[in-house]
């Protein structure tokens, strides 16, 4: 009986060449998928695309006593929910500082207040180390604010009604949108 599946030395070399090429292509494709996933998650991922934490425009947040008692008076408030363990929050600090500085120059503009779930000592050390220039309030219960992801910015009117919100690390275009929404010119 003749073995039909036996490869000649020439066929065997060709087969090995095809197999090596297919393996190389597969490795490159897997590397591309891994790299694309990393880049999307690190640079371009914006949880804002999904409704998170039950935040809705027009919603009234009722647990704002610590924020309202922070000396914001009758102003609208821009809450920035952050965590000392969030690298997206840390990456966004220059934007929050710029936003806070820009708003301070305009009378009657929203007061920017960063809120943290962390202990006062931990937040004070973090703010100093990371050069956070906006006022902050530690030990805030994020569940009471309907915040499930950090960073989250919530623009509230003086009664605590949500005017707008932004979730996640913002792209430069979204940062410009925030400046525009708040009536500011972005640099």
Domain ranges in the chain? Answer: 1-45, 51-181
Q: What's the CA gap between 114 and 78, in Å, rounded?
A: 8
List residues bridging with 78 in a β-sheet. Answer: 112, 155
> What architecture is domain 51-181?
3-Layer(aba) Sandwich (3.40)
20-43 pLDDT per residue, tens: 898 998 899 888 888 887 776 665
Q: What's the alpha-carbon Rg for the chain, to the nearest Å?
A: 26
The pLDDT score that the predictor gives to residue 130 is 96
pTM as predicted: 0.68
Q: What is the pLDDT of residue 49?
A: 40
- Residue ranges in the chain modelled with pLDDT below 70: 1-7, 9-10, 40-53, 65-74, 186-187
């Amino acid at each position: 009986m003749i073995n039909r599946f036996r490869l000649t030395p020439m066929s065997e070399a060709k087969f090995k060449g095809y197999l090596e090429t297919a393996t190389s292509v597969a490795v490159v494709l897997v590397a591309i998928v891994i790299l694309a996933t990393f880049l999307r998650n690190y640079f371009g991922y914006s949880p804002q695309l999904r409704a998170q934490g039950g935040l809705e425009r027009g919603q009234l947040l009722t647990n704002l006593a610590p924020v309202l008692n922070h000396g914001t008076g009758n102003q609208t408030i821009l809450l920035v929910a952050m965590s000392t363990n969030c690298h997206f929050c840390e990456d966004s600090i220059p934007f929050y500082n710029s936003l806070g500085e820009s708003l301070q120059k305009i009378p009657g503009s929203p007061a920017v207040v960063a809120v943290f779930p962390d202990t006062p000592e931990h937040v004070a050390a973090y703010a100093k180390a990371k050069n956070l220039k906006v006022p902050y309030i530690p030990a805030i219960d994020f569940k009471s604010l309907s915040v499930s992801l950090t960073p989250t910015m919530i623009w509230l009117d003086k009664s605590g009604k949500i005017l707008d919100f932004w979730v996640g690390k913002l792209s430069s275009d979204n940062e410009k949108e925030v400046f525009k929404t708040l009536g500011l010119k972005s640099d």
